[in-house]
Structures are given as C-alpha cells and as structure tokens.
C-alpha cells in the first residue's frame, strides 16, 4: 500500500489517492451486483440495464466510502490533527493521519465522524428511495435502496468496538479518557479487534464451505488485514510511549563512517559495505554533507559498470532528503520515516552532519528499554 496508484486530486487541502488494489474490489462489486443482486431482486431488468445500474451502484458505494473518510479527515483538520491523505484501496478507505491524536477527546470525535456520516447517508438514500418509489424505474429504486442499506451496514461494521475500526478507536478514546492510560486502553481494544478479525476469517471459511467462495475469500482477507492492523496499532502505541520525550540525539549513530563522492561503486562495495557492514553511508565533499548512498542503489547498477560509476552518480542528493534535527522527538522522526517510506535519515546540526538515525536504531532502543524496564 506504499504510494502505488494515482492521485484523484485534492479537496479542501486533502489529497485523495486511488490505490491500484481498489480496482479489484470495484470490479468484484460490479460483478456481484450485476450477477446476483439485480437479477435476484428485479427479475424483469434486462442485461444492459442491469450492468449500467450495477456500475452506478458501485460508484455510489465508493463515493459513500469517500464521504465517510472525508468526515474523518475534516473532523481531524478541525482539531488540528494533520491528515496526510485519503487512500481508497481494496478493503475500503483510510484517512491517514500524520500522527495519532494526542488527546482522547480528539480521537473520539475524529473516529465518530465517519460512522455518523455513513448513518446520515444511509437514512438519506433510504428516505429518497421510499419517497420516489412510485415515480422511478424499479432498477433505480433498487440502487437507491441498496446504497442506503450498504451505508447502514458500513456504519454498523465500523462501530464494532475493536481496533482499528472506528468503534474500537472510540472505545479506546473513552477508556483512555477515564483511565489516563493510553497503552492499556489500546491493548484492550487491540485484543477485541484481533478477536473480531478471527471471527471474520472463521466466517469466511464457513462461507467457502457453504459454496460462497468469492465472498468467503474476501472475508478472510479483510480479517487478515484487520488482524495485522490491530497488532500494529498496539505496537505503535508501545513505541510512542517508549519514545516519549527522547530526542533523536540520544539514539542516533554518531560519527558515522562517510564516503567521498568520487569513490567508484566497486570500491564502495569492497571497502565500505563489506568492511563496515553498514547498508548506508553519508557522502561528504570537503567536509560538507552532500547526500546519502544506500546498498539498494548499488544493486540497481550493472556489475560491469561498477568500475566506472561513482558514488555521486547514484546517491540521493541532500535536496531530496528529509533532514532531521538532533532535538526532534524520536517518535516524530519514526512517523516521518514511515511517511516518506525511508529506513534512515541524516541528522544535521547547523548544516553539519552529526549522525544517522535508522528505524532499526529507534526500535532497538525501545526494545532495550522494555527489557531493562527503564
Ligand atoms: Zn471510519
């Protein structure tokens, strides 16, 4: 899910991205609607009309999900919690927060906005369907009714009190508010989320045995996705707590070995990567930090060309790097790394390189702390 797909544009300062995996779900939904729903409920609808209505219904359904995510995003914006983007992907939508909310009240409101929006949309569509029923074609009525019903289902599903679902987030916020203990609150809702994920997977298996293979597989995958998210949700909170108040300065690798930009890739591999066994080196020219070279970048160059290619040809130049200040909170830096999809970042003090911070450093620091109970 890391930045594949394409941007649908920006609305109210929030970028909307369509992940490639979304198309799989879209096609599946259209297929199911056309082959089962419309034929099942409205027997006298022709094939062409049935497909047209199915595509319309699928688009309305995904617009409903988009509205649900926008409700989260706008609530977050109002409470000064930054949203990096909204992603639509195979399992629905996600309003990605740059950082988790720091107050229970904010989390409660942001999580609650989505289901509230779905409930409102559900009532709206069902209301319009019943008012217009005598005047519209039976197929159009079917679409309106179906979208209303789906929005209500979406609301109910999201209100399940297990992390990472909205209901789980709301419950966590409530527990956090009353106990003051974010970590324990998260552990409770993360466990509930994992139980719910197992129930979904179990139901999926039962559906497959019952002959509903496609739906069963979808349930299993949704369960697996929720299980992973429930686990990592707790992990992130543990990290956040273990890192609170710790500046990068305390964790970074100081005085890292550096390399000159004119060194050939052959020398870089033999004299640097193999000798020091670091997977990344800062590039320094005349005492000045100018970029970062990583082992993956060497891999993309043909072996025969290593002799003639220099570090400066393949490194990531300083202007394309996210630079970290030594006094930044380590948790914030970890979130930045996840945001830009990078494993390590240079730490600069007044333009001078003083260290390198990697995801591994940060996670190991927390693990050591946990082990020592400090
Ligand atoms: Zn939601």
In the structure encoding, which two tokens stand for residue 311, read together? 């570090």
Residue 253 confidence (pLDDT) above 70: yes
Cα distance from N-terminal residue to C-terminal residue, the chain: 35
Question: What tens digit of pLDDT does each residue of 202-225 get?
Answer: 999 999 999 888 889 988 998 999
Cα-to-centroid distance, 337 and ligand 1 (Å): 25
Q: Which of 52-61, 197-206, 243-252, 253-262 has the highest mean pLDDT?
A: 197-206
**pLDDT reported for residue 1:** 42
Cα-to-centroid distance, 116 and ligand 1 (Å): 9
Question: What tens digit of pLDDT does each residue of 14-61 get?
Answer: 888 888 888 888 888 888 777 777 666 666 777 777 788 888 888 998
Q: Which of 104-113, 322-331, 353-362 has the highest mean pLDDT?
A: 104-113
Cα-to-centroid distance, 203 and ligand 1 (Å): 22
**pLDDT reported for residue 84:** 81
**pLDDT reported for residue 43:** 67
- Give the mean pLDDT of 252-257: 86
**pLDDT reported for residue 95:** 85
The pLDDT confidence band at residue 158, using thresholds 50, 70 and 90, is very high
Question: What tens digit of pLDDT does each residue of 290-318 get?
Answer: 999 988 888 888 888 888 899 889 999 98
**pLDDT reported for residue 342:** 80
Question: What tens digit of pLDDT does each residue of 64-88 get?
Answer: 999 999 999 999 999 888 888 888 8
In the structure encoding, which two tokens stand for residue 125, read together? 């569509």
Cα-to-centroid distance, 97 and ligand 1 (Å): 12
Beta carbons of 371 and 138 less than 8 angstroms apart: no
Cα-to-centroid distance, 291 and ligand 1 (Å): 40
What is the helix (H) or strand (E) element at residue 76, kind and residue range? helix 47-78
Q: What percent of the chain has pLDDT over 70?
A: 97
**pLDDT reported for residue 42:** 65
β-sheet with 352-358: strand ranges across: 253-254, 352-358, 344-349
- How far is residue 112's CA from residue 166's CA, in Å, rounded to a whole number? 7
141: nearest Cα among 29, 40, 57, 67: 57
**pLDDT reported for residue 39:** 64
Torsion angle of C-alpha atoms 53, 56, 57, 63, degrees rounded to 10: 180
Cα-to-centroid distance, 85 and ligand 1 (Å): 14
Cα-to-centroid distance, 110 and ligand 1 (Å): 9
- Give the mean pLDDT of 227-240: 85
- Within 13 Å and on the Cβ side, how many CA atoms surround 105? 3
């Amino acid at each position: 899910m890391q930045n594949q797909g394409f941007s649908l544009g920006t609305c109210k300062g929030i970028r909307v991205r369509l992940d490639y995996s979304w198309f799989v779900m879209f096609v599946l939904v259209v297929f199911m609607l056309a082959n089962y729903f419309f034929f099942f409920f409205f027997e006298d609808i022709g094939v062409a009309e049935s497909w047209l209505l199915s595509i319309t219904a699928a688009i309305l359904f995904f617009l409903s999900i988009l509205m649900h995510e926008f409700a989260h995003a706008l609530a977050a914006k109002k409470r000064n919690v930054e949203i990096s983007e909204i992603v639509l992907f195979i399992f629905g939508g996600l309003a990605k927060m740059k950082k988790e909310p720091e107050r229970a009240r904010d989390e409660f409101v942001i999580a609650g906005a989505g289901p509230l929006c779905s409930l409102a949309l559900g009532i709206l569509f069902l209301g319009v369907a019943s008012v217009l029923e005598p005047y519209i074609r039976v197929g159009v009525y079917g679409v309106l009714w179906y979208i209303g019903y789906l929005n209500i289902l979406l609301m109910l599903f999201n209100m399940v009190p297990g992390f990472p679902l909205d209901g789980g987030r709301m419950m966590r916020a409530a527990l956090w508010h009353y106990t003051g203990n974010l970590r324990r609150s998260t552990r409770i809702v993360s466990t509930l989320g994992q139980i719910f994920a197992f129930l979904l997977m179990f139901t999926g298996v039962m559906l497959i045995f019952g002959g509903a293979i496609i739906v069963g597989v979808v349930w299993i995958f949704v369960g697996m996705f929720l299980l992973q998210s429930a686990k990592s949700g707790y992990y992130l909170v543990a990290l956040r707590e273990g890192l609170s108040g710790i500046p990068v300065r305390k964790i970074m690798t100081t005085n890292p070995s550096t390399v000159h930009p004119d060194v050939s890739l052959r020398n870089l591999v033999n004299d640097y990567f193999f000798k020091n066994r670091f997977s990344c080196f800062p590039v320094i020219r005349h005492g000045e930090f100018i970029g970062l070279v990583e082992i993956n970048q060497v891999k993309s160059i043909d072996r025969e060309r290593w002799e003639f290619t220099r570090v400066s040809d393949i490194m990531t130049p300083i202007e394309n790097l996210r630079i970290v200040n030594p006094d930044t909170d380590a948790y914030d830096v970890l979130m930045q790394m996840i945001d830009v999809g990078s494993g390590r970042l240079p730490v600069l003090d007044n333009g001078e390189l003083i260290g390198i911070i990697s995801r591994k450093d940060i996670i190991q620091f927390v693990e050591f702390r946990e082990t020592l109970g400090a």
